[in-house]
């Protein structure tokens, strides 16, 4: 039996990849036939729904490329749990003016206080604004660059990191970086300096980076460039991860790298 025009419209929409329209077109045809909706009203509703779905999928594709360890936003963040965080400053950062000015953000605090969450949330805003964003754990970035160097592909890999509109360098300070690693981080930070924005999360104050990067000269060269145009947020408070444990176990119960 030959397909009816109704069925053919649905098939065409499916073949065109317009799944949301295909799903509701039958219902809309009935609504239009009965006079409950005009044709333009139905078309507008269907195309709006399809457009929203396309935009949402596109956003998720870009979010996946950004390599976040988890996807959370500022709406998921309980500011009342962590009163040391200047809420107004963080909300202002979500407006991304600093990104357009090629400035940086450094989040300092002990484990579990929300550094990575805020970095990711700002990263998600950047992705929403179509800024090329990438999240990298500091150790992973260092080993990635070392591996590229061994293969003679350092320049190519360096260019990948250097060209990102936003690089999130997570967990600086959890593990020490050797001389070669520190030089690679310095090269990258220099190339991004005043050209692209970086968010750094660290569990040690910037003054203690000399120990992280082996020698004080490289450490201060890295810190100088990152902190020149920079918003520093220091978070002092309890770990959100251990918030439900009794205080005597909660404090310091999960020290170290998390």
Spell out, one character per residue from 176 to 215, where the chain touches ligand ADP: x when CB under 6 A holds, - when not: -------------------------x--------------
Q: Tell me if 241 contacts ligand ADP by CB under 6 A.
A: yes
Q: Tell me if 78 contacts ligand ADP by CB under 6 A.
A: yes
Q: Give the binding-site size for ligand ADP (rule: CB under 6 A).
A: 18
Q: Which of 117, 123, 120 is nearest to 82 (CA)?
A: 117
Q: Tell me if 128 contacts ligand ADP by CB under 6 A.
A: no
Q: Cα(20)–Cα(51) distance, rounded to whole angstroms?
A: 9
Q: Tell me if 68 contacts ligand ADP by CB under 6 A.
A: no
Residue whose CB is less far from ligand ADP, 42 or 203: 203
Q: Tell me if 82 contacts ligand ADP by CB under 6 A.
A: yes
Place of tokens 């260092």: 142
Residue whose CB is less far from ligand ADP, 112 or 123: 112
Q: Tell me if 238 contacts ligand ADP by CB under 6 A.
A: no
Contact range with Mg ion by CB under 5 A, out of 31-39, 116-124, 134-142, 143-151: 116-124
Q: Which of 109, 193, 181 is nearest to 142 (CA)?
A: 181
Place of tokens 């950047």: 126
Q: Cα(191)–Cα(193) distance, rounded to whole angstroms?
A: 6
The residue number whose beta carbon is nearest to Mg ion equals 116
Q: Tell me if 116 contacts Mg ion by CB under 5 A.
A: yes
Residue whose CB is less far from ligand ADP, 186 or 240: 240
Q: Tell me if 114 contacts ligand ADP by CB under 6 A.
A: yes
Residues found near ligand ADP in the complex (CB under 6 A): 72, 76-78, 81-82, 109, 111-117, 201, 240-241, 258
Residues found near Mg ion in the complex (CB under 5 A): 116
């Amino acid at each position: 039996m030959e397909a009816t025009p109704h069925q053919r419209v649905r098939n065409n929409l499916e073949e065109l990849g317009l799944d949301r329209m295909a799903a509701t077109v039958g219902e809309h045809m009935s609504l239009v036939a009965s006079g409950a909706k005009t044709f333009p009203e139905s078309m507008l509703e269907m195309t709006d729904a399809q457009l929203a779905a396309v935009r949402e999928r596109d956003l998720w594709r870009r979010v996946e490329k950004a390599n976040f360890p988890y996807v959370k936003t500022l709406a998921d963040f309980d500011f009342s749990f962590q009163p040391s965080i200047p809420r107004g400053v963080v909300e202002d950062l979500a407006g991304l003016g600093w990104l357009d000015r090629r400035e940086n953000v450094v989040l300092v605090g002990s484990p579990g206080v929300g550094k990575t969450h805020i970095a990711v949330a700002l990263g998600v805003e950047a992705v929403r604004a179509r800024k090329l964003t990438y999240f990298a754990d500091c150790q992973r970035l260092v080993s990635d660059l070392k591996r590229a160097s061994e293969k003679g592909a350092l320049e190519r890999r360096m260019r990948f990191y250097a060209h990102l509109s936003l690089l999130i360098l997570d967990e600086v300070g959890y593990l020490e970086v050797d001389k070669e690693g520190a030089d690679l981080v310095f090269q990258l930070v220099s190339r991004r300096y005043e050209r692209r924005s970086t968010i750094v999360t660290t569990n040690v104050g910037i003054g203690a980076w000399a120990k992280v990067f082996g020698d004080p000269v490289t450490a201060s060269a890295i810190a100088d460039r990152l902190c020149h145009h920079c918003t520093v947020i220091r978070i002092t408070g309890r770990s959100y991860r251990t918030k439900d444990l009794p205080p005597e176990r909660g404090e310091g119960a999960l020290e170290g790298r998390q």
